[in-house]
Amino acid sequence: MSQPDFSHDGIRTARGTAFRYLFMLCALLSILTTVAIVATLLIDAIDFFATVSPIEFLTGTRWSPTNDPVAFGVLPLISGTLIITLGSALVALPIGLLTAIYLSEYASERRRAYLKPALEVLAGVPTVVYGYFALVYVTPALDTILPLSTFNALSASIMVGIMIIPMVSSISEDAMSAVPDSLRQASYGLGATKFTVSTSVVVPAALSGIISSFILALSRAIGETMIVAIAAGQTPRMVDLTDPAGMFLDSIQPMTSAMVQIGTGDIVGQGAAYKSLFAVGLTLFVITFVMNLVSELVASRYREVYR
């Protein structure tokens, strides 16, 4: 925004310029933060890759940073993360999508006014609390019908899923609300019911927004730490994708949980286990960063369509 400059007062102008640069520094701090994150992760990760080759790290199927014989294969951790992501996706994506449809197409203005804040609460509960819930309430409850281990992927996935429901529902609902009403009216005019309008018109029209919300929620699930650290266990293992029972009923270890384990252990000095923290952190950062960018790109497409 521009404004005519009537002031010829040198001090006032100088002060204005000083504030301008001060505020600019604050904004640039965000770029500095990103640079610092990448630098911190890279410096120690490169150090780590001097002792453990990147190929061994990325293709190794055994993770044992502290117990002999030490091994630094990240695949078991990635497979652990994959299980949690898959499990929470099965919970959150259908529920989140149905919630978005309900809020956008069915709910009255009044009902929406209290349902939306109530849903947001789900994302506001501290994750350590969810982890505790999974360990002491969900696991014992499910244990009565399923042969569950004390630490298991199932209850952790369910809790992560519940936590990310509002991410799916709020972004999807925004996309559905942005669908022009004329499309709905045209469909009603052809004699369609609300069900048909919702599923055959609104959802396809809002698809890029919905996909964007899915990716963002899954990225959140991948980065989720405390729920899996408390409830999913500390057993890094390769999962057998053909054996769902073995995947979900037993203890696993995702990337974030392995980081917490190393972080809480007494690893003094600069050993390989300490450095491996940054290699795993870098892997996690790259995965979530790419997913967030893709989500952003997909979302910006639908914004253009209806503008």
User: Which residues, 220 to 259, sit near other proteins by CB under 8 A?
Assistant: 220, 222-226, 229-230, 256, 259
Does residue 74 touch other proteins according to CB under 8 A? no
Stretch of residues binding other proteins (CB under 8 A), selected from 56-64, 163-171, 175-183, 240-248: 163-171
148 lines the binding site for other proteins (CB under 8 A): no
Instruction: Return the range that interacts with other proteins (CB under 8 A); candidates 13-21, 51-59, 70-78, 177-185.
Output: 13-21
Alpha-carbon gap, residue 35 to 37, rounded angstroms: 5
- Nearest residue (CB) to other proteins, 108 versus 242: 108
Of 28, 58, 186, 245, the one binding other proteins (CB under 8 A) is: 28
Q: What is the Cα 93 distance to its own chain's centre?
A: 13
Task: Compute the distance between CA of residue 225 and CA of residue 303 in angstroms, rounded to an integer.
Answer: 32
Stretch that binds other proteins, among 35-43, 57-65, 66-74, 237-245 (CB under 8 A): 35-43
From the CB of 240, what's the least distance to other proteins, in Å? 27
Please say which residue, 32 or 241, places its beta carbon nearer to other proteins: 32
Query: Apex CA 49: angle with CA 80 and CA 225, to 5°?
Result: 30
Rounded-to-integer distance, Cα 176 and Cα 164, Å: 19
- For 95, residues 6+ apart whose C-beta sits below 8 A from its C-beta are 161, 165, 168
User: Whole-number minimum distance, CB 41 to other proteins, in Å?
Assistant: 6
Site size toward other proteins (CB under 8 A) is 97
User: CA-based angle 150:164:244, to the nearest 5?
Assistant: 45
Report how far residue 196's alpha carbon sits from residue 117's, in angstroms, rounded to the nearest whole number: 28
Query: Which residue number, 137 or 306, has a Cβ lying nearer to other proteins?
Result: 137
> E-strand spans in the chain?
63-64, 71-72
Which residue's CB is nearer to other proteins, number 241 or number 290? Answer: 290
Hey, which residues does 72 pair with through a beta bridge?
Answer: 63
Site for other proteins in 101-130 (CB under 8 A): 101-103, 106-107, 115, 118-119, 121-122, 124-129
Q: Which of 264, 269, 304, 307 binds other proteins (CB under 8 A)?
A: 264
Which of 132, 174, 249, 272 forms a contact with other proteins (CB under 8 A)?
Answer: 132
Q: Which of 93, 87, 257, 241 is nearest to 160 (CA)?
A: 87
Extract the tokens encoding 215.
């990716």
